[in-house]
Structure 1
Amino acid sequence: DADPKKGVKAAKAMLEKEGLPLTDENIFIAASCKEKGILFLTGKSQVNGMYKINREEEAAKKKGEYTVTVNGKAYGVKIGKDNATVNGSSYPLNVAFGIDEKAIEATKAVASDAPAAAAAPTHDAVSVKAPMPGLILRIEVKEGQKVTKNQVVLIMEAMKMENEIFAPCDGVVTKISVSQGQQMQSDDELLVIA
């Protein structure tokens, strides 16, 4: 075979890499199913089926009700159209995409008595999100790796098809939020490019 990723030799290499026995059955599974076969043999495969839904939890999510914990202290937060109610007190609210650097500078002096927060990146970071529910088959990049726009960063299986996930921009992968074999939902963060 001209493709070095196919055949018995490639299947044996995948099995050895995972520390799996080189039996005829395992070689067949690895050769015919590739990453899906390895996930099956290592016990990491996921069943894509029906799940029981906690209706109360789903209803709370739709209502915009959350418990937010900051520095170990829990707050009951309800998000409305133009306000947020925190532990019974209502505050005006306006949510915008992106980070307003002027607003951050203006609040730095006021925030000295507020809980410490993680430092914001000095440049915009783009979160790559799952376009649909699916299983992470392969991660094609590593943290710290440079990527270009439209480069394949990972492969997801959804509806029995392999789907390539592309980098939306040029940059460096600063965070990989998933692992091979992990089941994802729509809009779950996959990785971050800055």
Structure 2
Amino acid sequence: MLRKFKITIDGKEYLVEMEEIGGTATPAAPAPQPVQATPTVAPASAAPQPEPAAAPTPAASGDTSDAMKAPMPGTIIKMLVAPGDQVTENQPLLVLEAMKMENEIVANRAGTVAEIFVNKNDTVNAGDALITIS
């Protein structure tokens, strides 16, 4: 699948096309930071550096290894099932809004909804656990 992105760098816009080769997208690893051999002491006048904010994660008690994953980053705008519901293959489970488009996330197999890892209005990244069907 060919995807297009508009990126602005220093006020200049670039149009980038990317082709998804296969499988599920994995989040990009952060750029490596140089490691200092010896610790340095900051001057007393230096302001403390804030800790980077962790991405919000839904409270999930179960194993997410067999959960359906988000195919793209976006916002959950509709929940169409609840835990315990029986679903059929290709039945819509929830709606994910991405780039002003509504994308139905459908069941990959028939079964029972075991656990839902997201709530309405949650923001998700590609690869985040959404729902488990047993």
What is the TM-score normalised by the length of structure 2? 0.53
Q: Shift in Å at residue 159 of structure 1? A: 0.6
Distance 1:119 1:183, change over 3 A: closer
Q: Shift in Å at residue 129 of structure 1? A: 0.8
1:45-56 superposed matches below 5 A: none
Instruction: Determine what percentage of the aligned residue pairs are the same residue.
Output: 41
Q: Distance in 1 between matches of 2:31 and 2:115?
A: 31
| Structure (1 or 2) with the greater helix fraction | 1
| Structure (1 or 2) with the greater strand fraction | 2
1:1-194 superposed matches below 5 A: 58-59=30-31, 126-194=66-134
Equivalent pair of 2:115/2:132 in contact (CA under 8 Å):
yes
Any unmatched runs of 5+ in structure 2? 1-7, 9-28, 33-60
Q: Distance in 1 between matches of 2:89 and 2:122?
A: 25
Q: Shift in Å at residue 161 of structure 1? A: 0.5
Equivalent pair of 2:92/2:105 in contact (CA under 8 Å):
yes
Q: Shift in Å at residue 169 of structure 1? A: 0.1
Q: Which of the pair has the greater relative contact order for Cα pairs under 8 Å at 6+ separation?
A: 2
Any unmatched runs of 5+ in structure 1? 1-49, 51-56, 61-117
Q: Distance in 2 between matches of 1:119 and 1:164?
A: 24
Q: Shift in Å at residue 127 of structure 1? A: 1.3
Q: Shift in Å at residue 119 of structure 1? A: 10
Q: Distance in 2 between matches of 1:119 and 1:179?
A: 16
Residue-by-residue CA offset, 1:128-149 (whole Å, 9 max, x unaligned): 1100000000010000111000
Larger Rg belongs to? 1
Q: Distance in 1 between matches of 2:66 and 2:87?
A: 12
Residue-by-residue CA offset, 1:23-75 (whole Å, 9 max, x unaligned): xxxxxxxxxxxxxxxxxxxxxxxxxxx9xxxxxx7236xxxxxxxxxxxxxxx
Question: Which segments of structure 1 move beyond 3 Å, counting only runs of 4 or more?
Answer: none
> Residue 31 of structure 2: SS of its match in structure 1?
helix
> Residue 59 of structure 1: SS of its match in structure 2?
coil
Equivalent pair of 2:70/2:130 in contact (CA under 8 Å):
yes
> Residue 126 of structure 2: SS of its match in structure 1?
coil
Distance 1:119 1:134, change over 3 A: closer
